[in-house]
Amino acid sequence: MDVILNQMFAGLSMASILLMIALGLAIIYGAMGVINLAHGEFVMLGAYAAWALQTYAGFSIIVALPFVFVAVGAVGWIIERVIVQRLYHRPLDTILATWGIGIILQQVVRLSVGAESRFVKGPELLSGNIEIGGLVMSNYRIFVIVFSLAVLAASWALMTRTEFGMKLRAVIQNRQISECYGIEAKHIYSVTFAYGAGLAGIAGALITPLFSTIPTMGTGLVVDAFLVVIVGGLGSLLGAASAAVLIGEATALFSMLFNDTLGRIAVLAGIIVLIRFRPRGLFPSNTRR
Amino acid sequence: MKRRDFLSSVGAVGTAGALSAPALLTTIGRATAQGNDIPVGLLFSLTGAVAVVESTLHDAALMAIEEINAAGGVHGRQLRPIIEDPASDPATYADRARRLMIRDKCVSVFGSYTSASRQAVLPVTEQRSNLYWYPTLYEGRECSRNVMYGGAVPNQQQDELIPWAIENFGPRFYMIGNNYVYPKEENNYCKTLLAKHGGEVVHEEYVPLGHSDFSSVINRIRAEEPDVIFATVVGDSDVAFARQYHAAELDPARMPVVSLTRSEVEVKAIGGEAAAGHFSSAPYFMGTQTPENERFVESYKSRYGADQVTHFVSEAAYFQVYQFKAALEKLDPANITPETIRDAAVGLTLTAPQGEVLIDENLHTHLWPKIGQWQSNGQAEVLLQSQERVAPLPYAAYEGQTCTGEGLVRA
């Protein structure tokens, strides 16, 4: 029984990390239709920003989070302005371009910071575990779960409760008509892309105490994030959240029944079956395009 | 140039070319060191996925070459390092090895960290009868006459370790490794030792290379409560595993991780606090107290930076260059070929940073296994040092097969 509870918590923890990474991807795709293959590198930049702030300024990860968000968001904003914006009418080219940007970012970090794995210290405050009977929960993992829920709520509020969100939804529904009403779609897109990048940055900073910080760390993570977005339904926040929980828990369950290698195969097979019957994911958005 | 002149000059070149062709054919492809310097190849990845570790091997080997040259070279001739970057891609290793052995006529090539890249170079070096110096610990089960193996094979890492771990912590072993040949072969040998010394395997599992979320593994460890975690997890996976193991507050005093692959490089990324208390088995640690090691560490740091670390593979990359030099010194300067170097190297002893090492006739190296416990400063304290030098038995797990001076012998 304890094993199952522990494993459920492990699945929830995996889900929270997946959700943090997938959220930015879901927003960028949902709003702009851009498949951003550089997303994993934004995660990596966030991890390195957290490392730099800790090593050179002595900031703990939690203190560093807002700075990381702004810094990676700024990088995203520049990339949108300089490259992605010019390719909105050529969706296939954006895939290639963002992939190239990803490689460039990876190599820039490798050349400037170095290829070796970097050490980032976890926050003292959140070390240790909470034990309830046989259930052992790492405080830091609990923090990541709560934080990811908060980010989900904040993103939802941004999309539905602010003027910016209203404009964004208008642009998503019909760009031309929105522009007729005086909404500057270009500007909205830039900010959305920057927001998505910033979220990826936060995700990167949050996982540094658990994972290894290297220039290629984003590549593997972005694959999982894409799975979440596809299973959840493109562009849906609710879909991303439920898909993250589903994939996280399924991975944990299969890892317990078999092992991590077979668990991974089982999850991927499950996703293929699911896509066969629900090709648009669990919660497809019904926007006309 | 007039057309007639051009034709006649082409004719002349053509004839000369035809005449010299047989001479070219007889010398081509035989790497012999003639001329004023001795060309040696360095084939370590400076870019790509394994560059993190492999660039340190490159640095150590290059440092040895430059030290030898500064001290006057061999027979008054300088070693000329020819550097190729195979970019972490096995096919490129084979291609660049071919280039070093044929075009550059290197009499030896130093290179590789992973087994995959060594196996890519293997057919090339065997076909050209050249010599490939491989510094990494590896899974054994190979017996080439054209590779000099400088790292430990399973029996050298485990023969002392397993009985020691059973005695100190208990007989129940949990095996965790990445899913490829090295961990499987090491675990294979470990099981034969466990059977001999009364240990048992409570669980054996392999995670994909680069796997980074170990929460399921840690839950299983918590449930099984083994005495020893026997780890062959490599690189970034090991960093993630160690950090999550520490975050889960599993006590190294009760359930220590005993690793065959964790070196100073990984510990630097894990952080001393999370690595402290766990163990590694290797022939060399940075803190080894010998005069040779002090000199090695000091010159490495002064050359590449005070925050750099030396580890059990970079040490071998370093001493193998000196073994190469010692073999050259035994040879007639007019007769330096890969085969003569190999034959001169067999039986050679050399005081390496880890202690005095010997090249076996099976071309593997007799080493000094040690067990180290990691401290919070990122260095290992050597708890147990083998009383005698341990001979390499690359087929120790396979009864009836031995690697000898004549190659693999099946009983």
Q: Does B196 touch chain A (CB under 8 A)?
A: no
Q: Which of B261, B282, B303 is the last residue of a domain?
A: B282
Which chain B residues are within 8 Å of A251, Cβ to Cβ?
Answer: 216
Q: Are residues B111 and B56 in the same domain?
A: yes
Q: From the list B55, B212, B220, which residue is nearest A212 (CB)?
A: B212
Cα A205 to chain centroid distance, Å, stands at 11
| Domain with B295 in it | 37-149+288-368
Compute the distance between CA of residue A244 and CA of residue B303 in angstroms, rounded to an integer.
48
Count how many domains chain B has: 3
Q: Which residue bears the tokens 């889960």? A: B248
pLDDT of A63 strictly over 80: yes
Q: Does A260 touch chain B (CB under 8 A)?
A: yes
- CB of B199 within 8 A of CB of B172? yes
What pLDDT shows up at residue B3?
Answer: 53
Which chain A residues are within 8 Å of B206, Cβ to Cβ?
Answer: 259-261
**Is B331 within the bounds of a domain?**
yes
Q: Where are the domains of chain A?
A: 19-217
Instruction: Report in angstroms the alpha-carbon separations of A268 from A231, A265, B211, B286.
Output: 11, 5, 15, 43
Which chain A residues are within 8 Å of B269, Cβ to Cβ?
Answer: 116-119, 212-213
Average of per-residue pLDDT across A68-89: 93
Question: Using H for helix, E for strand and C for coil, what is the string for chain A?
Answer: CHHHHHHHHHHHHHHHHHHHHHHHHHHHHHHHCCCCCCHHHHHHHHHHHHHHHHHHHCCCHHHHHHHHHHHHHHHHHHHHHHCHHHHCCCHHHHHHHHHHHHHHHHHHHHHHCCCCCECCCCCHHHCCEEEECCEEEEHHHHHHHHHHHHHHHHHHHHHHHCHHHHHHHHHHHCHHHHHHCCCCHHHHHHHHHHHHHHHHHHHHHHHCCCCCECCCHHHHHHHHHHHHHHHHCCCCHHHHHHHHHHHHHHHHHHHHHCCHHHHHHHHHHHHHHHHHHCCCCCCCCCCCC
Distance from CA of B52 to the nearest CA of A (A): 5
What pLDDT shows up at residue A284?
Answer: 77
Q: For B112, left (φ over 0), alpha (ψ -120 to 50), or beta?
A: left
Q: Which residue bears the tokens 């984003």? A: A218
- CB of A24 within 8 A of CB of A86? no
Q: Does B240 touch chain A (CB under 8 A)?
A: yes
Q: Are residues B176 and B195 in the same domain?
A: yes
Q: Which residue of B has its CA nearest to A17?
A: B213
Q: Are residues B83 and B177 in the same domain?
A: no
Mean pLDDT score across all residues of chain A: 89
Smallest CA-to-CA distance from B108 within B332, B411, B325 is with: B325
Q: Are residues B120 and B209 in the same domain?
A: no
Q: Does A3 touch chain B (CB under 8 A)?
A: yes
CB-count exposure of residue A183 (10 Å: 0-12, 13-18, 19+)? middle
What pLDDT shows up at residue B81?
Answer: 95
Smallest CA-to-CA distance from B57 within B307, B310, B268 is with: B310
What is the model's pTM? 0.85
What pLDDT shows up at residue B29?
Answer: 47
Q: What angle do CA B348, B353, B355 make, to 5 degrees?
A: 60
**Is B407 within the bounds of a domain?**
no
Per-residue pLDDT of chain B (411 residues; tens, 9 = 90+): 455 554 444 444 444 444 444 444 444 445 666 678 999 999 999 877 778 788 899 999 999 999 999 999 999 999 999 999 998 889 999 999 999 999 999 999 999 998 889 999 999 999 999 999 999 999 999 999 999 999 999 999 999 999 999 999 999 999 999 988 999 999 999 999 999 999 999 999 998 888 888 988 998 998 899 999 999 998 888 999 999 999 888 899 999 999 999 999 889 889 899 999 999 999 999 999 999 999 999 999 999 999 899 999 999 999 999 999 999 999 988 889 999 999 999 999 999 999 999 999 999 999 999 999 999 999 999 999 988 999 999 999 898 899 998 888 887
Q: Are residues B261 and B296 in the same domain?
A: no
What pLDDT shows up at residue B2?
Answer: 52
Compute the distance between CA of residue B75 and CA of residue B73 in angstroms, rounded to an integer.
7
- What DSSP element (H or E) covers B9? helix B3-27
CATH number, domain at B82? 3.40.50.2300
What pLDDT shows up at residue B12?
Answer: 46
Q: Does A256 touch chain B (CB under 8 A)?
A: yes
Cα torsion for B230, B234, B238, B239, to the nearest 10°?
A: 150
Cα dihedral sign, A118-A120-A121-A127: negative
Interface contact flag, B223 A252, Cβ < 8 Å: no
Which chain A residues are within 8 Å of B218, Cβ to Cβ?
Answer: 10
**Is B403 within the bounds of a domain?**
no
